Amino acid sequence: MRRILIVGAGQCGLLLGHGLLRAGDYDVTILSARTPDELRRSRPTSTQVMFGPAVAVEQRLGLDLWAGDTPDIAGLHWTVAAPPGGDRLDIYGALDTPARSTDQRVKMAGWLELFEELGGTVHTKEAAIGDLDEIAESGHYDLIVIAAGRGDLTALFDRDPSRSPYTTPQRGLAAAYVHGMGRDPDTDLWPNVTFTVLPGAGELILIPALTTTGQCDILFWEAVPGGPLDVFGDRPGPDEHLTRAVGLIREHTPWLYERCAHLELTDPHATLTGRFTPTVRRPIGELPSGGLVLGAADALVTNDPVVAQGANAAARCAAAYLAAILDHGDDPFDRDWMHNTFERFWADTAERVTNLTNGMLQPPPEHVQRILATAARHPEVASRLANGFADPNSLTDWFMTPDGADRYLSQVAAHAGQLAV
Ligand SMILES: Cc1cc2nc3c(=O)[nH]c(=O)nc-3n(C[C@H](O)[C@H](O)[C@H](O)COP(=O)(O)OP(=O)(O)OC[C@H]3O[C@@H](n4cnc5c(N)ncnc54)[C@H](O)[C@@H]3O)c2cc1C
């Protein structure tokens, strides 16, 4: 029986751990920094919108435990706000399969308990590099996977400059989980994620979700550093956080204020602030005594959450690593296998996710502006776009390049012309 250690009980680590348990023939241990109860009582870690393909990974592993409780998100409502006096652009894109946001505090705690019930081993410990070195030296495990997110263990993995265009954070993040938000009055596409772009200043994202106290909404500001929305840098307490978040809505997106006029925080720890530099790292970490560990998901590919991709990519990373481990049978998990396993995940998923996300942190290029303007008039274009965020690979040939956009928009125009005849 092969013995696998997964460090980090998050979106990727728990999916991988459950997948290996279900496969049988694997002795799986997860090192978790916190107990399930501590996870539930902690601050939020994400806004975790999971699109259909990522939800399907969870379903396949028997882990879609909150279906029916978590709101099914029917689509995306983008607004590009114009300078004062200009027209706003509103786009409504229906999703083919619903997205969901189940608070990671709920989800990881539940999955961790289930993992133990199903026969997995859990050790509660925030592992330092020295601990991992001792564990690797003991030779007990055939493979150690570091799925510890953006924490200190990223120090094990060198930054890959060729895949990391940024050297500073591109957004200040400020999320608050709230009860009392009104519904989007402008559309039947409900529940939806309402995504508002304030050019040059940042984004506001409103997300229906499930949290520890029931259904809720998340009010999530993404602020361009130093700009007018960047007012959470001093990490205000929860009440002050909410006051500032709603104050920004009144000032910068007043058409959304009515929805947000009577909000209450969902729990005493319902806010999250921070900022980090989007970074891609090399996949193999070498411990002081020479042992090798393989990084996974955010530990290697840390993207800004502006287009809600990290947890989705983490689910796909878990699925990809699971398949690679199972395919490898009894062969040693050596450097080549680790390298190839990550490179396959990069080529199949992470590269396009990273390119999309890094692109969306910049002002939209001209061809994207044309797509958005067309999407505002054509629901099928808006829907294709929404489903493109669910599967960024599907954006490649029409959204990511000017030529592709030209071809696609000509087809849309020709089709619209035929309909008009
Ligand atoms: C504000 C915000 C909003 C976001 N919104 C979205 C969104 O809407 N959609 C989306 O797809 N993605 C979103 N993301 C990104 C998403 O949350 C992450 O990409 C995803 O959770 C990464 O999964 P992971 O398994 O790599 O790491 P995580 O889910 O972060 O899990 C890592 C786990 O390892 C634990 N850990 C850390 N260090 C150690 C250690 N030394 N020893 C033991 N355990 C350790 C941590 O406590 C944690 O439990 C958002 C992120 C942020 C910050």
β 172-179/264-265 pair status? antiparallel
Residue 206 has which token pair? 């409103």
pLDDT on residue 416: 84
Beta strands of 212-262 (E only): which ranges?
214-223
SS3 content of the chain, % helix, strand, coil (to 5): 40, 25, 35
CB atoms within 10 A of CB 335: 13
Tell me the C-alpha distance between 389 and 384, whole Å.
9
In the chain, the largest separation of any two C-alpha atoms, in whole Å, equals: 75
CA end-to-end span of the chain: 68
Is residue 396 within a helix (H) or strand (E), and if so which, with residue range? none
> Does the CA dihedral 235-236-238-240 come out positive or negative?
negative
Region of 85 (left: φ > 0; alpha: ψ -120 to 50; beta: rest) is left
Q: 205: which strand partners?
A: 195, 220
Tell me, what's the pLDDT at 419? 60
Q: Tell which atom from ligand 1 comes closest to the C-alpha of 47.
A: 5
Residue nearest to atom 38 of ligand 1 (CA): 148
Please confirm whether the linkage preceding 165 is cis (ω < 30° from 0).
Answer: no
pLDDT digits (tens, 9 = 90+) for 35-80: 999 999 999 999 999 999 999 999 999 999 999 999 999 999 999 9
* Backbone φ/ψ region at 186: left (φ over 0), alpha (ψ -120 to 50), beta: alpha
Task: Categorize the per-residue pLDDT at 2 as very low, low, confident or very high, splitting at 50, 70 and 90.
Answer: very high
Instruction: Give the model confidence (pLDDT) of 143-185 as tens digits.
Output: 999 999 999 999 999 999 999 999 999 999 999 999 999 999 9
Would you state the pLDDT for residue 84? 60
Query: Between the CA of residue 366 and those of 138, 164, 183, 402, what are the distances in Å?
Result: 56, 24, 32, 8
- Residue among 48, 171, 271 whose CB has most ligand 1 atoms within 8 A, to mutate: 48
Cα 405 to ligand 1 centre (Å): 33
DSSP-derived letter for residue 70 is B
Task: Tell me the pLDDT of the chain averaged across its residues.
Answer: 96
The answer for residues whose C-beta is within 8 angstroms of residue 237's C-beta and 6 or more apart is none
Token pair in block for residue 235: 């990490």
Q: What is the pLDDT of residues 261-307, one digit of tens each?
A: 999 999 999 999 999 999 999 999 999 999 999 999 999 999 999 99
Ligand 1 surroundings by CB, under 6 angstroms: 7-13, 31-33, 45-49, 126-127, 147-149, 151, 153, 173, 175, 272, 297-299, 305, 308-312, 314
Residue nearest atom 50 in ligand 1 by C-alpha distance: 46
Output the pLDDT for position 257: 97
Give the distance (Å) from ligand 1 centre to CA of residue 314: 9
Question: What φ, ψ does residue 178 adopt, rounded to 5°?
Answer: -135, 155
Residue whose token pair is 């396009």: 352
Report the SS3 class of residue 319.
Answer: helix
3-state secondary structure of 67: strand
- The residue whose CA has the least distance to atom 21 of ligand 1 is 311
Residue 420: predicted pLDDT: 55
Burial 276-297 (b: 16+ CB within 10 A, else e): bebbbbebbbebeeebbbbbbb
Q: Which residue has the tokens 């104050």?
A: 247
CA distance 44 to 236: 15
Between the CA of 104 and the centroid of ligand 1 the distance, in Å, is 8
What pLDDT is stored for residue 139 in this prediction? 96
Q: What is the pLDDT at residue 417?
A: 78
Q: Can you tell me which atom of ligand 1 is nearest the CA of 298?
A: 26
pLDDT of 421 > 50? The answer is: no
3-state secondary structure of 326: helix
Instruction: Give the pLDDT confidence score for residue 271 in this predicted structure.
Output: 98
Mind listing the pLDDT tens digit for each residue in 214-227? Answer: 999 999 999 999 99
Distances (CA, A) of 308 to 12, 47, 92, 293, 357: 15, 8, 17, 27, 9
pLDDT tens track for 110-119: 999 999 999 9
Contact 235, 247 (CB under 8 A): no
Q: What percent of the chain has pLDDT over 90?
A: 96
